[in-house]
Amino acid sequence: MTNLLTHRNEKFNTGDLVRVHQTVKEADKEKDQVFEGRIIAIKGRAPNTNFTVRKIGADNIGVEKIFPLFSPTIKKIELKKKFPSKRAKLYTLRNGK
């Protein structure tokens, strides 16, 4: 279990606020979709590394999305803000703490 993630020479930890740019195919169209939130978990080892990003959506409902790190659909991961975290999993954010 690790709390460090490296994507295209950028390093991310659990607790960091990120924007994940992903390409989504719908029928015959492709569009870019951005998901902005906090990394709450990093699981697995390369090439099976997954990370979970959580954001607060409409009506204060939490939305989580799991991304495979080495997916060809992920165009880039943008670091918005660094947060120091000593925990590998931040599941306490689910309870609103």
Whether the CB-CB separation of 23 and 32 falls below 8 Å is answered with yes
Look up the pTM and report it: 0.84
47-66 confidence digits (pLDDT tens): 888 999 999 989 888 999 99
Those residues of the chain that have pLDDT short of 50 are 1, 97
**Number of domains within the chain:** 1
- Any idea what the CATH number is for the domain that residue 68 is in? 2.30.30.790
70 within domain boundaries: yes
Task: Supply 14's token pair.
Answer: 């659990």
68 within domain boundaries: yes
